[in-house]
């Protein structure tokens, strides 16, 4: 649906649209996954010797429905929005940095965007809620509102605004599918979004604010303790229902987080593998899985973020990360690196010889293969 037309819809219509679109998310192809496992055992190598690359190839087969996947077009969607909770002094950077860095991304000046250029990866920067003015025509305008309210004092968003953001994210993934994108990364830019993500994760998992909260952009000790207090008090004040991810987002989340959740859901709907970046991204993925269990089967985790809540969310998603590089930048930076790991897995499936093609008798591996199948 057209972005502007949806704005006129009442809340029940938005709820209905989300429900209908969630119902269309397919299961992954288990039969194709099994074919991929068998094919891996036929390749000219000791069974299991390529470790996680083999698992990635098997999962890709299930996601795409093809034994051999090819990554022709990679895209990182960067969802940008401001968070009203920065009024509480929970961030080391001013709110204006959101707009500045969003513009810089379009010029390949940020950590993620210069990596994306190096690895020939498209980067699409989307404004779903930037609060401060800017001039940058390259940014895609999907703004729901100019930043959220201060969740320490009131709900961050209305339920209607939250649904608009989720559906907007789904639209962005739908557009990517129509444009031939076959691998999506989900990044963000929003000062204050480690606070919102920590609050959401605390509600979804029942963990304390202290367990899930990190230092974000580099808070010193006193500011870090203050951030934990703000999150803890906000969760206690709003008491959102953890069984209702939309309510959790509306009370203590953010527009960037909601739109990212939508991108993950839209990717699954279109059978596009979606790569999680860091802490904010993995919380968005967890929200998506809570809205649709089937969607979670389409996610890859790129790297272990230094934020403490990351591993908690990763466990909830039953995923393992490809890389451990002590990164905590966000933006989608880990996605760029993970894309290359996924491409490597595809190369093995597509180009490596089987034992038969390599003229090698593989009878000596029968026992090992039988053991691996058990």
Please pick, among 54, 331, 357, 367, the residue that the annotation labels catalytic. 331
- pLDDT band at residue 368 using 50, 70 and 90 as cut-offs: low
Question: Cβ distance 122 to 76 under 8 Å?
Answer: yes
Question: Cβ distance 291 to 245 under 8 Å?
Answer: yes
- Sequence-distant (6+) residues with CB within 8 A of 321 are 301, 302, 303, 304, 314
Would you say residue 159 has pLDDT above 80?
A: yes
Position 216 scores a pLDDT of 79
- The residue whose two tokens read 């999962």 is 59
Position 272 scores a pLDDT of 99
Q: 221: how many CB neighbours lie within 10 A of its CB?
A: 8
Kindly state the percentage of the chain with pLDDT values over 70.
Answer: 97
The CATH classification number of 74-348 equals 3.40.50.10210
Position 217 scores a pLDDT of 77
Kindly state the percentage of the chain with pLDDT values over 90.
Answer: 88
**What secondary structure letter does DSSP report for 216?**
T
Q: Helix, strand, coil proportions of the chain in percent (round to 5)?
A: 55, 10, 35
- pLDDT band at residue 371 using 50, 70 and 90 as cut-offs: low
Would you say residue 369 has pLDDT above 80?
A: no
39-53, 240-254, 310-324: range with lowest mean pLDDT: 39-53
Q: Is the whole model's pTM more than 0.75, yes or no? A: yes
Would you say residue 235 has pLDDT above 90?
A: yes
- The residue whose two tokens read 């993500």 is 197
Q: What is the pLDDT of residues 77-128, one digit of tens each?
A: 999 999 999 999 998 899 999 999 999 999 999 999 999 999 999 999 999 9
Backbone angles phi, psi at 47, to 5 degrees: -55, 130
- Using DSSP, state whether 20 is helix, strand or coil: helix
Query: Residue 2 class from Cβ within 10 Å (0-12 exposed, 13-18 middle, 19+ buried)?
Result: exposed
Q: Which of 87, 41, 43, 35 is nearest to 60 (CA)?
A: 35
Q: What is the pLDDT of residues 188-224, one digit of tens each?
A: 999 999 999 999 999 999 999 999 998 877 888 888 9
* Interstrand relation of 140-141 and 122-129 (parallel, antiparallel or unpaired): parallel
Position 200 scores a pLDDT of 99
- pLDDT band at residue 58 using 50, 70 and 90 as cut-offs: very high
Backbone angles phi, psi at 299, to 5 degrees: -105, 140
Would you say residue 366 has pLDDT above 70?
A: no
Query: Could you give the CA distance from residue 20 to residue 93 in angstroms, rounded to a whole number?
Result: 40
Backbone angles phi, psi at 128, to 5 degrees: -110, 0
Would you say residue 310 has pLDDT above 80?
A: yes
Strand order in the sheet with 74-81: 140-141, 122-129, 74-81, 183-189, 274-276, 299-303, 321-323
- Sequence-distant (6+) residues with CB within 8 A of 82 are 95, 98, 129, 130, 131, 132, 146, 147, 148, 190, 191, 192
- Using DSSP, state whether 300 is helix, strand or coil: strand
Position 4 scores a pLDDT of 83
CA-atom Rg of the chain in angstroms = 21
Query: Could you give the CA distance from residue 76 to residue 367 in angstroms, rounded to a whole number?
Result: 43
Helix (H) or strand (E) holding 225: helix 221-238
Position 144 scores a pLDDT of 98
The domain segmentation of the chain, as residue ranges, is 74-348
Position 308 scores a pLDDT of 92
Position 102 scores a pLDDT of 98
Query: Could you give the CA distance from residue 77 to residue 347 in angstroms, rounded to a whole number?
Result: 24
User: Strand locations in the chain, DSSP E?
Assistant: 74-81, 122-129, 140-141, 183-189, 274-276, 299-303, 321-323
Would you say residue 73 has pLDDT above 90?
A: yes
Q: Which of 101, 144, 138 is nearest to 333 (CA)?
A: 101
- pLDDT band at residue 373 using 50, 70 and 90 as cut-offs: low
Position 3 scores a pLDDT of 85
Q: What is the pLDDT of residues 170-183, one digit of tens each?
A: 999 999 999 999 99
Would you say residue 129 has pLDDT above 90?
A: yes
Would you say residue 281 has pLDDT above 80?
A: yes
Position 220 scores a pLDDT of 86
Q: What are the tokens at 50?
A: 């390529």
Q: Is 331 a catalytic residue?
A: yes
Question: Cβ distance 60 to 69 under 8 Å?
Answer: yes
Position 40 scores a pLDDT of 93
Average pLDDT value over all residues in the chain: 95
Position 87 scores a pLDDT of 96
Position 277 scores a pLDDT of 98
């Amino acid at each position: 649906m057209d972005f502007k037309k949806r704005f006129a819809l009442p809340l029940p219509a938005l709820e209905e649209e989300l429900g209908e679109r969630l119902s269309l998310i397919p299961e992954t192809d288990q039969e194709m996954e099994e074919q991929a496992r068998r094919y891996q055992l036929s390749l000219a190598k000791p069974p299991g010797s390529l470790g996680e690359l083999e698992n990635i190839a098997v999962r890709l087969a299930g996601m795409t429905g093809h034994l051999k996947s090819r990554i022709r077009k990679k895209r990182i969607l960067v969802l940008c929005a401001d968070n009203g909770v920065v009024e509480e002094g929970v961030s080391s950077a001013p709110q204006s940095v959101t707009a500045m860095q969003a513009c810089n991304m379009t010029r390949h000046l940020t950590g993620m965007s210069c990596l994306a250029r190096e690895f020939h990866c498209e980067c699409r920067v989307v404004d779903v809620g930037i609060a401060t003015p800017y001039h940058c025509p390259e940014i895609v305008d999907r703004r729901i509102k100019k930043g959220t309210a201060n969740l320490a004092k009131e709900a961050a968003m209305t339920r209607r605004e939250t649904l608009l953001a989720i559906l907007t994210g789904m639209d962005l993934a739908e557009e990517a599918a129509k444009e031939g994108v076959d691998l999506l990364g989900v990044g963000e830019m929003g000062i204050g979004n480690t606070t919102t993500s920590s609050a959401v994760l605390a509600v979804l998992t029942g963990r304390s604010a202290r367990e899930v909260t990190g230092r974000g952009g580099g808070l010193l000790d006193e500011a870090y303790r203050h951030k934990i207090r703000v999150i803890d008090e906000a969760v206690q004040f709003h008491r959102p229902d953890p069984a209702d991810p939309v309510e959790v987002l509306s009370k203590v989340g953010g527009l960037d987080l909601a739109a990212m959740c939508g991108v993950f859901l839209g990717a699954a709907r279109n059978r596009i593998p979606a790569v999680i970046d860091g802490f904010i991204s993995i919380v968005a993925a967890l929200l998506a899985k809570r809205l649709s269990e089937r969607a979670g089967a389409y996610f890859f985790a790129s790297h272990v973020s230094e934020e403490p809540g990351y591993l908690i969310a990763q466990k909830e998603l039953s995923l393992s990360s490809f890389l451990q590089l002590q990164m905590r930048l966000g933006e989608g930076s880990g996605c760029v690196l993970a894309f290359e790991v996924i491409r490597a897995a595809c190369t093995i499936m597509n180009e490596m010889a089987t034992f038969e093609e390599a003229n090698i008798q593989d009878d000596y591996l029968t026992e090992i293969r039988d053991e691996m199948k058990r």
